[in-house]
Amino acid sequence: MREFLIKAYRFSSSWTGTVIIVLFLIFFVIQSFVIPSGSMKNTLLIGDFLFAQKFVYGVPIPKIPWIELPIVPDFNNNGHLIEGDKPERGDIVIFLYPKNPKVHYVKRCVAKGGDEIIYQDKHLYIHFKEGDEYIKRNYPPEKIKRISKQLWVDNPYMDRYSGIHYTPEAHENIFNILIKSYLYGEDGIDLNPIYAKELGGDTFDINGRAVNALYKRVEEGHYYMIGDNRDNSNDSRFWGSIPYSLVIGKPWFIYFSWDSEKSEVRWDRVATFVKDLEKRD
């Protein structure tokens, strides 16, 4: 045993051993990422450098960093060497952007296969696939609204996660942007226009039909990802839900944070677990 430990130490101390160990960690255990945009503000900020746990949702197909070149075939045809747990509602997830699988995105999973979504300005209503009784057992009456003969939960995650907010930055809210995309016949919108009389609010005329909300039923085996900074996020509302094959892992630990506007380190965020940043004060 002592001889084995000595050999292991010598191997790990060599250049070859160091490279192999680092690649093993990157491929299967943890990987470093930096947050490039404000879509998850105020939970994750631009300039947060973090480690992600890659084994939380199974073991993704190992890929060479930066060029995202797989080093083994996708034997299971699901993007993972070993299938594992799937993202749960409320999880922050790192995944591959469906329009460019070489780019990593990070958003919050707000719904999964079978769930239904109604989106209106400042309101994200979700009807969970478990049904009305599940909703009544798990959410207070003040967050529940009856729409089209079934129960929906209004902004179900805002009470649990402090970073979720609706604050447009230098443009109008995303709901109006999505509505105008339909008005002008633009592509690239995932939600469908509907009229829900129980919601009220502004009404728009789209091709002679009254519309005051947007609707989506999430496909089975898929996950709907929306940024916590909900009026400033390029997310599933534009390009759709993602399959399990694109799921990479979960943000774990911020090891450095740089505020480029102030040219200073955010020391209060360094050495912080992401789960601690999510807690509501």
Q: What is the pLDDT of residue 28?
A: 56
Total domains present in the chain: 1
Q: What is the pLDDT of residue 115?
A: 98
45 membership: H or E segment, kind and range: none
243 SS3 class: strand
DSSP letter assigned to residue 142 = G
Residue 183 neighbours by CB under 8 Å, 6+ apart: 204, 206
Spatial separation of the C-alpha atoms in residues 55 and 248, rounded to whole Å: 8
CA proximity to 165, closest of 223, 261, 233, 218: 233
162 is catalytic: no
Task: Name which of 18-32, 135-149, 262-276 the model is least confident about.
Answer: 18-32
Q: What is the pLDDT of residue 9?
A: 40
Share of the chain above pLDDT 70, in %: 89
Spatial separation of the C-alpha atoms in residues 64 and 5, rounded to whole Å: 30
Spatial separation of the C-alpha atoms in residues 179 and 204, rounded to whole Å: 8
Q: Which of 41, 54, 63, 107 is catalytic?
A: 107
For residue 179, give its domain range: 2-278
86 is catalytic: no
Spatial separation of the C-alpha atoms in residues 197 and 179, rounded to whole Å: 17
pLDDT at 106 over 60: yes
- CATH, residue 127: 2.10.109.10
Q: What is the pLDDT of residue 29?
A: 61
Residues 174 and 230 sit within 8 Å (Cβ to Cβ):
yes
Pick the more confident residue, 6 or 223. Answer: 223
Pick the more confident residue, 158 or 28. Answer: 158
126 membership: H or E segment, kind and range: strand 123-127
CA proximity to 110, closest of 149, 161, 58, 151: 161
99 SS3 class: coil
DSSP letter assigned to residue 79 = S
Share of the chain above pLDDT 90, in %: 66
Q: What is the pLDDT of residue 86?
A: 96
Average pLDDT, the chain: 88
Q: Which of 39, 236, 245, 257 is catalytic?
A: 39
Report, as an integer, the average pLDDT of 101-127: 96
Q: What is the pLDDT of residue 207?
A: 85
> DSSP readout, 188-237?
---SEEE--TTT-S--EEETTEEE-EEEEEPPTTEEEEE-SBTTS--SHH
Spatial separation of the C-alpha atoms in residues 107 and 92, rounded to whole Å: 6
Output the CA–CA distances (angstroms, integers) from residue 165 to 57, 123, 169, 231, 234, in the order listed. Answer: 27, 10, 12, 8, 15
Pick the more confident residue, 26 or 200. Answer: 200
